Chain A
Amino acid sequence: AQSVTQLGSHVSVSEGALVLLRCNYSSSVPPYLFWYVQYPNQGLQLLLKYTTGATLVKGINGFEAEFKKSETSFHLTKPSAHMSDAAEYFCAVTYTGKLIFGQGTTLQVKP
């Protein structure tokens, strides 16, 4: 069965610091992996996705993620945090077309 684990329900960084949000997956088939961001009272917005090909995926707003099959990981990074990055982040894997989400990580950015 497919599942996603996000390590750390809350991450706090200073503005300008590296952002690292962790995601590990379990999948019985080659996975398709996604990162979504959710701002308060809004729906989810796609940051990036991995399907096939290059394992380093670049997304919007300067985010990127690397698919590591040997570690079953798909961690999200951004070199320099902005105040506007404060939000809830969800990692997800697809299974028969539907998305299986992790519990989410709240990113706090301190001035």
Chain B
Amino acid sequence: GAGVSQSPRYKVAKRGQDVALRCDPISGHVSLFWYQQALGQGPEFLTYFQNEAQLDKSGLPSDRFFAERPEGSVSTLKIQRTQQEDSAVYLCASSSRQGSTDTQYFGPGTRLTVL
């Protein structure tokens, strides 16, 4: 079956530009997560949705980062006025239920490079 998909796979932005990263979770999955993975590091949590509700956004590094999931399916992570330190791989994951034991299934990621 189809897994988690993300687009674009690669994005190059000039400093100061706005970008939008898309995540299509596995159909029917209730929970959706965004993580940021800097080069050579483990992924770090950004934000979490249960259906359309954003329940945790404690990992968003600044108010330039904004995420939404308006219909409880596709999610978009938007970064305004990109900075060089935003360069990273942005990973999306989904799980079928809400709970700490549920497996999170990851997409391939979007590699963002800010020049």
A-side residues, CB < 8 A to B, are: 4, 32, 36, 41-46, 49, 51, 90, 92, 94-104
Given A43-B4, A43-B106 in contact, is the A101-B43 Cβ separation under 8 Å? yes
Whether, in the assembled complex, B80 has its beta carbon less than 8 Å from a beta carbon of chain A, the answer is: no
Instruction: Count contacts on B: residues with CB < 8 A to the other chain.
Output: 27
User: How many pairs of A and B residues are in contact by the CB < 8 Å rule?
Assistant: 60
Contact A44 B99 (CB under 8 A): no
Give the docked Cα–Cα distance between A76 and B44 (Å): 21
CB neighbours (8 Å) of B100 from chain A are 32, 94-97
Main secondary structure of the interface of B (DSSP, over half): loop
Q: Which of B4, B44, B106, B107 is most buried by chain A, counting CB atoms within 10 A of its CB?
A: B106
Contact B101 A99 (CB under 8 A): no
Interface string of B80-96 (1 = CB under 8 A from A): 00000000000101000
Which single residue of chain B is at the shortest CB-CB distance from A92?
B42
Whether, in the assembled complex, B108 has its beta carbon less than 8 Å from a beta carbon of chain A, the answer is: yes
CB neighbours (8 Å) of B35 from chain A are 99
CB neighbours (8 Å) of B108 from chain A are 41-43
Which single residue of chain B is at the shortest CB-CB distance from A29?
B100
Given A99-B43, A100-B45, A101-B44 in contact, is the A49-B107 Cβ separation under 8 Å? no
